[in-house]
Structure 1
Amino acid sequence: MMAASLVGSGVRPQGAAVPARPVEVVGLTGLRNAEFGTTEQELTRRGILRSDVAACGPTLTGHGSVSPIFADNRLVLLWLDDPMSTPEGITVGTPLPAVRAAYPSAAELAAPQGTHRFDGLLARDGDRAYLFLHDRATVRKIIAGYAEWARRLFDEGYGPC
């Protein structure tokens, strides 16, 4: 189906949500053990990718809050949930003003009218991006990976399940 890196300051933007659990930072290269562009076979061989009958697709060992999305057998996106964070400290639940302060050049994306989908902010850095899905007040979901696949996910309304 449907992956430069933003250098994080390590400082949580003013107004950013404080997570209840320890967060793991997801950069635009991927996770520490699951980099964008890696094949499904390589992640499986390293014991990182597994099939979980209870999950809606493959999962990453040790990353219950992350859903990997593959295209042409390569990891192209990570669908993130709480307690995952960007290097700038943006998590699910972060107020939109903090997201806009952390990513001032993020493009506003409007969900198609008549759908139950969220609006988005697409923060690109070269061929990579964060897609922040929001309810016009706070971040509800974060997708990280290749910019073209993040945009395609937004346009087509694809989810991890």
Structure 2
Amino acid sequence: MTAASIAGSGSQPPGPGASGAVEVVNLEGLPEIEFGDTEGELTQRGALRTDVTLCGPTLTDHDEVSPVFVEERLVLLWAGDPMRTPEGVTVGTPVAEVWSRYPSVRHLHAPRGTYRLDGLLASQGDRAYLFLHDGETVRKVIAGYADWAERLFDEGQGPC
């Protein structure tokens, strides 16, 4: 995957008094951050910091999300807890719940003899969620363009 930069809780949102707001990542992206936006556009709007050298650019108001850019366009978002899909899937959600919330999900098998996680790909048009899991619970949530999510899975790339 030629990326310019690849920048548990349960399945229920935190109850009253819990710290941290629950945010939703959907197949369009995040509020004011859409798949297909360029690094320049996001930087100009103040949504992207390019002065961080850890894994590449970071989103200004979303520390728990790592953006993936290909040819300067946003193609994927790695979303950590407390980020959720609109259907409530997050890190720690049981795999059985993913199947029930996304009936057309497709199972992706990690290569034998590797330490990589299996995946569940829930596609809708040219967009998808990729849920990496250990067989029991979701360990990583990735949203974005379906072809890039599948390519990321096939090539075994990480967020950095």
TM-score, normalized by length of structure 2? 0.88
Greater shift after overlay, 20-29 or 125-134? 20-29
Count of matched residue positions in the alignment of Structure 1 and Structure 2:
149
5 Å-filtered alignment, 1:86-105, equals 86-105=85-104
1:7 equivalent in structure 2: none
* In structure 2, C-alpha distance between the alignment counterparts of 1:107 and 1:97, rounded to whole Å: 13
Corresponding residue number in structure 1 for 2:136:
137
Gap regions ≥5 residues in structure 1? 3-14
Candidates 10, 13, 16, aligned match of 2:11 = 16
| Matching of residues 1-150 of structure 1 within 5 Å | 1-2=2-3, 16-19=11-14, 21-53=20-52, 55-150=54-149
Taking structure 1 as reference, are residues 115 and 17 closer, same or farther at Cα in structure 2, changes over 3 Å only? farther
Q: Extract structure 1 runs of 4+ deviating beyond 6 A.
A: none
Identity %: 66
Secondary structure of the 2:58 match is strand
Length-normalised TM-score, structure 1: 0.88
Q: Which runs of 5+ in 2 are unaligned?
A: 4-9
Amino acid at match of 1:16: S
Check conservation: 1:129, 1:145, Cα contact below 8 A.
Answer: yes
Q: Distance in 2 between matches of 1:97 and 1:70?
A: 31
Q: 1:146, 1:65 → 2: CA distance?
A: 19
Q: What is the letter of the counterpart of residue 11 of structure 2?
A: A
1:50–1:60 Cα contact (<8 Å) kept: yes
- Alignment CA distance shift 1:97-1:52 (3 Å): farther
**Could you tell me how far apart the structure 2 residues matched to 1:69 and 1:104 are?**
27
Conserved 8 A contact 1:17-1:95: no
- Indicate how the Cα distance of structure 1 residues 47 and 89 shifts in structure 2: closer, same or farther if over 3 A, else same: same
Report the CA distance between 1:53 and its aligned residue: 3.3
Q: CA deviation at 1:18?
A: 4.1
